[in-house]
Amino acid sequence: MDSLTQACLGAAVGGAVLGRRLGRKALLAGAVLGTLPDLDVLIDYGDAVADYTYHRGFSHSLLVLAGLALLLALLSTRLITWGNITLTRWGLFYGACLLTHPLLDAFTAYGTQLLWPLNTPPVSWSSIFIIDPLYTLPLLIAVAYGLIRGYRPRSLTWGLALSSAYLVFSIGAQWTIDTRIEPLLAERGLENAPRLVQPTPFNTLLWRVTVIDDTDHQEALVGLFDTRPPLFERFSRGAQYEDSVQELSSGRRLYWFAGPFLSYRTQTSDEAVELIATDLRLGVPGFHPFSFSLAASNGDGWAPITTRLLDERSAGSDALALLARRVFSPDRRVCPSAFASTSQTASTDTCQSHQE
């Protein structure tokens, strides 16, 4: 989640644990601890793919953060003599502020390595967008009220309860969408195909469904209150380049991080042909922010290069306006590709197939 949300969550849980003894200091310390794991973005791991895939790594490990919480609790017990705070209470304070950060991140689609250093794939439950005002606002209001008026346990309780209830709602909404599309995928023989069901930006009413269909991937937008069946749109994912990417260490790292939700293509840059991999999980067709140049053609094959993140275009106001209209119009059917170009039909009865 974004830094503001993590700071508010840390402040709220910190205030709930030690607010009675430390007052505003508990909220401020909790906010700092709540954002601490994201400082790993300052680390340069050597290239773009490494920076991308090692983020939310050791600094988001439950094992590492639990150890750090214990260490801080021991130091606080020795160094802070006022307040009559026990080791158990300090441990609960540090543990709650630090561990809730990666757990919340795991509800997004990016991927969080909760069990680092174990070589397990990142956890991504994908039930909430990385920025969601309806999750953040209850926490923000509760924390702001506490900072202005002093420790207020009831406001913090309400803030945490409402934000947690919204998170539970997002899981239920995701399950509802997944259950609704299962029969449609079974009709297409795709019931066992890798699929990802995640919310579109800033809400949990409209969901994006991505299904890997051998050499292609199919996309659909499904609203929680839709009255018409969704339209699936087919896109080529450049599967002919997949084996070449898997021969690269950076390509294998990306696949470990994003699973099968990758597309591939080539592009000419400075008279060189480069091999590109795109993470399909983030963004929408036409607006995928994480595309990486992995290799350059040497005539006989692909030579690894220092990977770099491509400067892809971001969603404009027209795309966001179309998204907002679709969220609040259950009867409106929109093809996923409509967000990529305002010249494409936004609402149709059939979606097209797109080739690279």
Residue 131 lies in a domain: yes
Per the domain annotation, does 212 fall within a domain?
yes
Beta 272-279 vs 262-269: how paired, if at all? antiparallel
Q: Are residues 258 and 332 in the same domain?
A: no
Average pLDDT, the chain: 91
184 in a structural domain: no
For the CA atoms of the chain, what is the radius of gyration? 23
155 belongs to a structural domain: yes
Q: Are residues 151 and 102 part of one domain?
A: yes
pTM of the model: 0.92
The angle at the Cα of 272, spanning 271 to 278, to the nearest 5 degrees, equals 125
Count: domains in the chain: 3
Identify whether residues 121 and 15 lie together within a single domain: yes
- 187 in a structural domain: no
181, two tokens: 């599309």
Sequential DSSP letters for 184-253: HHHHTT-TTS-EEEEEPTT-SSEEEEEEEETTEEEEEEEETT--SPPPPEEEE--GGGHHHHHTSHHHHH
CA–CA dist 49, 306 (Å, integer)? 9
Cα(323)–Cα(346) distance, rounded to whole angstroms? 10
Same domain membership, residue 160 and residue 50: yes
Do 322 and 205 belong to one domain? yes
Asked if the model's pLDDT at residue 83 lies above 90, the reply is: no
The answer to whether residue 223 sits within a structural domain is yes
In terms of average pLDDT, the best of 17-26, 77-86, 124-133, 292-301 is: 124-133
Are residues 244 and 276 both part of a single domain? yes
Regarding whether 77 and 115 lie in a shared domain, the answer is yes
Average pLDDT rounded to a whole number, residues 172-197: 95
For residues 31 and 98, give the distance between their C-alpha atoms in angstroms, rounded to a whole number: 10
Tell me the residue range of the domain where 203 lies. Answer: 193-234+315-354
**Which residue bears the tokens 């983030």?**
282
Instruction: Please tell me whether residue 294 adopts helix, strand or coil conformation.
Output: strand
| Mean pLDDT of the region 262-281 | 91
How far is the CA of 4 from the CAs of 27, 32, 206, in angstroms?
A: 14, 11, 24
How high is the pLDDT of residue 256? 96
Tell me if 134 is assigned to some domain. yes
Q: If you count them, how many residues does the chain have? A: 356
Q: Are residues 350 and 206 in the same domain?
A: yes
Interaxial angle between packed helices 3-22 and 24-35, expressed in degrees from 0 to 180 and rounded to the nearest 10: 150
Which two tokens mark 148? 């202005």
Q: Are residues 104 and 128 in the same domain?
A: yes
Same domain flag for 295 and 339 = no
- Whole-number Å distance between alpha carbons of 270 and 26: 54
> How deeply is 313 buried, as exposed, middle or buried, from its count of CB atoms within 10 A (0-12, 13-18, 19+)?
exposed
Distance CA 121, CA 141 (A): 35
pLDDT exceeds cutoff 90 at 61: yes
Would you say residue 179 lies in a domain? no
Q: Tell me the pLDDT tens digit for each residue of 105-135.
A: 999 999 999 999 998 999 999 999 999 999 9
Which pLDDT score is estimated for 355? Answer: 55
For residues 201 and 340, membership in a common domain is answered with yes
**pLDDT above 70 covers what percent of the chain?**
95
String of b and e for 151-180 (b: at least 16 CB within 10 Å)? bbeebbebbbebbeebbebbeebbeebbeb
Q: Let me know whether 141 and 38 are in one domain.
A: yes
The pLDDT of residue 344 is 40
